[in-house]
Amino acid sequence: MGKLHVFNAGPCLLPQVAIDKTIDALKDFKGTGISLISVSHRSKEWGEVMDECRSLWKEILNIPDTHEVVFLGGGASMEFLCVAMNYLEHKAGYLETGVWARKALKEAQGLGNAVAVASSADRNFSYIPKDYQIPSDLDYFHVTTNNTIYGTELKSDPESPVPLIADMSSDILSRKVDVSKYALIYGGAQKNAGPAGVSFAIIRKDSLGKVSRHIPTMLDYRVHIDKESMFNTPPVFAIFVMNETLKWLKSIGGIDAIHELDVRKAETLYAEIDRNSLFTGTAAREDRSIMNVCFVMSEGNEQLQDEFLSFSKAHGMVGIKGHRSVGGFRASLYNACTMEDVEALVACMQEFEKIHKK
């Protein structure tokens, strides 16, 4: 088989240099003679990795001193509960834009009064709600900035009269973010930031300590800030890969450079979807994600779906089958995905069209 082009929605394609550095560390971590997965998390060498990883997050995203970065286990799904534990006192509002936003809302509703301020469920989450008002009596307003299943994305940081919280699992590190606008930004690492097994949280320190409930120790953000993400044994492997991924991102020019590339990749693929007679996009044009490009066979060609999946697989395309809940196709263009990968998918779509052109 020739070169593979990986479009998995997560765990995602990671930079080869990060993978190679990790392989080396698995054999010998920082010259200690010990494998990365056997090193003590209390060692000086590991402490250096943690410090560097935090510093890279702060540098790349221009995180102000008002905020701290912590690394946690449990993924974004655990953070759904942590958010409500740490911030929900009277009432919380959520922007319901997909499955993951709905799951975050459900976790909050298990603890108290949480409501959908606006929703795009009426059109199967194919757009981002626009004309809605955020009530001023909320403890916080929660958004999911990118919706991996439906291919929609918030293009800018929302303005909110109440503390703003965002799940940025699948578009973090792909665009500039005004971190100062947020009480909390969190997400699983396994899209742009690293492998599965660790989540990140960027927390405005003065936003904590305002709820009256008892917060279990492992769910209390203040504990993890105070213990510098080592209250318990951190996921050392995943954090090491994250650190190497951030070093790669910095080396290629940081957020400005990667955003320009990510936009070009997405525009290239969307242009082919719009041109090709066999395919059609599913997300509202103004809300199209640059991370997750979702599309289906055009009307009258639905019977070709399985054939195209087999055809694309034979041509080296990996991971373009749509989420099981919506079907169709999804190409995830996370940061380590190259323009060469996108151009290969476009060429595959063009060749398939030639075979079936009427």
Q: List active site positions.
A: 100, 167, 191
Scored b (16 or more CB within 10 A) or e, 88-120 reads beebbbbbbbbbbbbebbebbbebeebebbbbb
User: Strand (E) positions, the chain?
Assistant: 5-6, 67-72, 92-96, 114-119, 140-144, 146-147, 152-153, 164-167, 184-188, 199-204, 279-281, 292-297, 317-318, 329-332
**Cα(96)–Cα(114) distance, integer angstroms:** 12
The owner of tokens 């959908």 is 116
10 Å Cβ neighbour count for 346? 18
- CA 306, 14, 103, 131 torsion: positive or negative? negative
